Amino acid sequence: MKKFKSNVLLGLLLVALSVILFSLQITYFRASRDTFFYLLQDLAFLPLQILIVTLVLEQILRAREKRDKLRKIKVVMSAFFIEAGSQTIRLLSEYVQNTCQLKELLLMQANWKEEDFKAAFKTLRNFDYDMQSQTGNLMVLRDFLKEKKVFMLGMFENPYILEHDAFTDMLWATFHVSDELESRDTLELLPKTDYVHLSGDMKRAFRFLLVEWLDYMKHLQKEYPYLFSIALRKNPLGDRCSVIIQE
């Protein structure tokens, strides 16, 4: 309300200043016909000026704001995958029975092009993940996610992330797996139906994580090749256990 009153006051002052200047021009030069001619001429260009300001400049400012916002989102995504995301993918992949097939489809290379990433995105969204929660040590997964719980909850406080629906869905899916595992007194010898339920939750989180991780890798390759290089060597679905570059 205070800002609105300030804008109104500023508008009135500018109008009053225009009236004073036009009055001075008429008084001293005594050419009211010319004054009104140029006034109407300026008013004739006013719609075009409004068009340029409201449409062209506004679109430029929006594009810049969107670009800056996207850059900040990518920074947060980078922090997530470095701190927790990549290791979560690595741990969840141990429960995927057809993970070898998935690795072959996602054998990422440093020279990937746009079409390679598009094909990979399509693969991840359509892949039939055979997730079996009873085949691994769920306590290891639970302890890791519990350790990163505060970090993940802090992500929800970032206003930029909340505007990124896909990343927010991934965080919720991952946090839900953590909550499910922590809510059980034991993770051994569970009923088959419970394992099936856990498998579904883990599968959802795994798919979301992989899609966002791929988007993150695409961004690194384009904007930060040096970061992409080490991220590629630390590929959570890769077989490398070292980031050392071999001959």
Verify that 122 and 225 share a domain, yes or no.
Answer: yes
Helices 225-233 and 192-223: angle between axes, nearest 10 degrees = 150
pLDDT, tens only, 81-119: 989 999 999 999 999 988 888 887 777 888 899 999 998
Mean per-residue pLDDT, 186-209? 93
- Among 47, 51, 25, 56, smallest CA distance to 38 is for 25
Q: Is 11 found in the same domain as 76?
A: no
- The predicted pLDDT at position 138 comes to 93
Domain final residue, candidates 13, 30, 60:
60
Higher pLDDT, 59 or 114: 114
Q: Does residue 124 lie in a domain region?
A: yes
Same domain, 107 and 177: yes
Give residue 242's pLDDT.
Answer: 45
* pLDDT tens column, 140-163: 999 999 999 999 888 888 777 766
Determine what percent of the chain is predicted with pLDDT higher than 90.
Answer: 29
- Please indicate, yes or no, if residue 244 is contained in any of the structural domains: no
The pTM for the full model equals 0.72
Do residue 163 and residue 96 come from a single domain? yes
pLDDT over 80 at 25, yes or no: no
**Is pLDDT at 128 greater than 80 in this prediction?**
yes
Count of domains observed in the chain: 2
Average pLDDT estimate for 41-58: 70
Q: What's the pLDDT band for 1 if we cut at 50, 70, 90? A: low
Residue that wins the pLDDT comparison between 48 and 213? 213
Select from 31, 60, 89 the last residue of a domain: 60
Q: Note whether 99 and 124 are same-domain residues.
A: yes
Same domain, 179 and 203: yes
| Residue-level pLDDT at 196 | 95
| pLDDT-based confidence at residue 3 (cuts at 50, 70, 90) | low
Instruction: Please give the Cα distance from 224 to 39 (Å, whole number).
Output: 54
Residue 204 lies in a domain: yes
36, 60, 84 - which closes a domain: 60
> What's the chain's average pLDDT?
82
Q: Which residues pair with 131 in a beta bridge?
A: 96
Same domain (yes/no): 13, 127: no
Q: State which residues form the domain around 17.
A: 2-60
Is residue 247 included in any domain, yes or no? no
The larger pLDDT score, comparing residue 195 to residue 26, is at 195
Q: How confident is the model at residue 183 (pLDDT cuts 50, 70, 90)?
A: very high
Of 140, 50, 52, 53, nearest to 88 (Cα)? 140
